[in-house]
Amino acid sequence: MAKVKRSLFKTFLNVGTPETPDYALLGDGVTNAEIQYNPQTSEETYIHEDSGTTEIESYRPTMPVEMSCVSGDDVFDFIDGLRQSRAVLDAAKTDIVNVWIYEDEGVAGYPAEQQEVSIQIDTFGGAGGETNKINFTINFLGDPVAGEFDVDSGTFTEDSGS
């Protein structure tokens, strides 16, 4: 049994278009990014019981990101473009691929999930004398598509069973 380092879970952001995806690694300038699954629950206590029941009905995942601004980095340039245009609705949408590098590599690549997302710009700026920061939230939309991601070519292949 081995511990799994954070560097073995990678997120790639589509900085291209849905028709011509261009996946860039979310990494430079980012020191923390974690999926918050935000479970949606319902709670009931049945009349014949003293203890309640909590059911998980759905999830509303998000990934808050704090990024040091690194001009020329594909992800920063894409996110900063969304900020500058104050992108909303469809203009704020793209997709990501979360890749589980720590799992065995398959024929076409590593196990992965492609996820449609909406990018929410939270803050931009920082303290005097420090590197400028951009904080944004990746809001997951709908269900992910399971597949494999080839890190070298930057291509996602959907599982045939999906």
CATH of the domain at 98: 2.40.30
Place of tokens 């720590």: 102
Residue-range definition of the domain harbouring residue 45: 6-158
**Host H or E run for residue 116:** strand 110-125
Question: For residue 35, what are the contacts with CB-CB under 8 A and spacing of at least 6?
Answer: 61, 62, 63, 98
What is the reported pLDDT for 104? Answer: 75
What is the reported pLDDT for 54? Answer: 95
Whether 143 is in a domain gets the answer: yes
Whether 1 is in a domain gets the answer: no
pLDDT one-digit tens code per residue, 39-98? 999 999 999 999 999 999 999 999 999 999 999 999 999 999 999 999 999 999 999 999
Structure tokens at 128: 């005097």
What is the reported pLDDT for 160? Answer: 80
What is the reported pLDDT for 51? Answer: 95
Please tell me the distance from the alpha carbon of residue 23 to that of residue 94, in angstroms, as a whole number. 10
What is the reported pLDDT for 162? Answer: 52
**Host H or E run for residue 138:** strand 133-140
Whether 110 is in a domain gets the answer: yes
What is the reported pLDDT for 2? Answer: 87
Burial class (CB in 10 A: 0-12, 13-18, 19+), 41: exposed
Whether 103 is in a domain gets the answer: yes
pLDDT one-digit tens code per residue, 114-160? 999 999 999 999 999 999 999 999 999 999 999 999 999 999 999 98
Whether 98 is in a domain gets the answer: yes
Structure tokens at 100: 């589980």
Q: Going along 5-91, which residue ranges are E strands?
A: 9-14, 23-25, 30-33, 39-44, 53-59, 62-68
What is the reported pLDDT for 108? Answer: 65
Please tell me the distance from the alpha carbon of residue 129 to that of residue 116, in angstroms, as a whole number. 37
Question: For residue 78, what are the contacts with CB-CB under 8 A and spacing of at least 6?
Answer: 13, 15, 24, 94
pLDDT one-digit tens code per residue, 5-24? 999 999 999 999 999 999 99
**How many structural domains compose the chain?**
1
Please tell me the distance from the alpha carbon of residue 40 to that of residue 97, in angstroms, as a whole number. 23
Structure tokens at 162: 């999906």
Q: What is the DSSP letter of 89?
A: G
